[in-house]
Amino acid sequence: MICPECNSPLHRTVFTRQTDNDKAMRRKKCKLCGHGWYTVEVILPTNAVVHLRDASGTTGIALAKSHRNILFQ
């Protein structure tokens, strides 16, 4: 994860709070510029993630179309 303000990969988690529906809300703070932001961690079902591979062999993952609304429930 990178800082949304300065793109630095150096950050720390200030606090974590468990929310309802098996979600974890985390407050992050950039060690370089001091910018703070929140993240939400959710548990995804196995079929919610698709594995990608492009023509050059680069791999990645993405959220399946059928599960794109999962973060907003």
Q: What is the pLDDT of residues 33-47, one digit of tens each?
A: 999 999 988 888 888
- 60 is written with which tokens? 């990645």
Q: 72 or 4, which is more confident?
A: 4
**Domains in the chain, ordered, with CATH?**
1-42 (2.20.25), 44-73 (no CATH)
C-alpha 12/C-alpha 33 separation (Å) is 12
pLDDT of 42: 81
pLDDT in tens, 21-73: 778 999 999 999 999 999 988 888 888 888 888 888 889 988 887 777 765 55
pLDDT of 72: 58
Q: Decide: residue 30, CB within 10 A, 0-12 exposed, 13-18 middle, 19+ buried.
A: buried
pLDDT in tens, 6-18: 999 999 999 999 9
C-alpha 19/C-alpha 5 separation (Å) is 26
